[in-house]
């Protein structure tokens, strides 16, 4: 990352699953207008699960009892959301992260997470290759460059690149011995400042973004017709 780069930070809030997915898509659609990358931390009002936009609902619903079960705007497999730490990264098309191949943006996001854990004295590694997985389930096995703790996957991500920008949605299943969530989030921001010269700005209230989020939630992510469409 170049020096003196301004990014927007959207602090953690717990929301309903359909709202979380709607806000991430709204950020993707709006990031060019916002003019700089966004890092968003978020949580969940209730245990729920999300699954990749290309997956078949009739297959995914058999793999978890968690409800609501909401289709993501990104790819990837089934992700349970209960005690996990979720985040999203959104980049406008004029940012160099947007120009990365998918494997490179995936690796860089997970290197960032690994460095943040190291800052809290938790040693993790990136998976050197794909490990055996159960089809459709994100945290059984591992993809290349997923974050591992003692050989077990603790962080994965999914991406979507459109003309509007690049969206990375990630989930961290925190190790049993490690930092509190706020400590890890602080470490994520400090790593970006130290390693990548990011200058953080708190994201101000944005009425148009909220309006778009609510529209997407109402007509898309809360609708059975969308979540069951494949």
Please spell the DSSP secondary structure of the chain, one letter per residue.
Answer: --SSEEEEEE---EE-HHHHHHHHHHHHHHHHHH-S-EEEEEEESS-EEEE-TTS-HHHHTTT---SSEEE-SS---BEEESS-EEEEEEE-TTSHHHHS-HHHHHHHHHHHHHHHHHHTT---EE-SS-----TTBTTSS--TT-EEETTEEEEEEEEEE-SS-EEEEEEE---SSS--HHHHHHHHHHHHHHHH-EEEEEPPP-HHHHHHHHHHIIIIIT-HHHHT--
138 is catalytic: yes
The residue from 23, 36, 138, 154 that is catalytic is 138
Task: Give the catalytic positions in this structure.
Answer: 138
């Amino acid at each position: 990352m170049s020096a003196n780069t301004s990014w927007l930070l959207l602090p953690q809030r717990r929301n309903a699953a359909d709202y979380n997915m709607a806000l991430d898509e709204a950020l993707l659609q709006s990031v060019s207008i916002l003019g700089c990358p966004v890092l968003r931390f978020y949580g969940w009002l209730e245990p729920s699960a999300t699954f990749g936009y290309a997956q078949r609902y009739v297959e995914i619903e058999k793999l978890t009892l968690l409800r609501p079960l909401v289709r993501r705007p990104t790819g990837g497999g089934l992700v349970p959301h209960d005690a996990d730490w979720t985040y999203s990264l959104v980049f406008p098309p004029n940012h160099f992260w947007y120009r990365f191949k998918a494997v490179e943006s995936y690796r860089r996001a997970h290197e960032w997470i690994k460095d943040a854990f190291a800052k809290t004295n938790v040693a993790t590694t990136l998976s050197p290759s794909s490990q055996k997985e159960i089809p459709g389930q994100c945290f059984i096995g591992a993809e290349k460059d997923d974050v591992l703790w003692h050989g077990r996957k603790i962080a994965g991500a999914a991406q979507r690149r459109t003309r509007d920008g690049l969206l990375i949605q990630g989930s961290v299943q925190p190790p049993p011995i490690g930092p509190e969530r706020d400590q890890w989030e602080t470490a994520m921001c400090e790593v970006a400042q130290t390693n990548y010269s990011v200058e953080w700005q708190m994201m101000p209230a944005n009425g148009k973004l909220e309006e778009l989020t609510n529209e997407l939630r109402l007509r898309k992510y809360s609708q059975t017709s969308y979540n069951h469409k494949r």
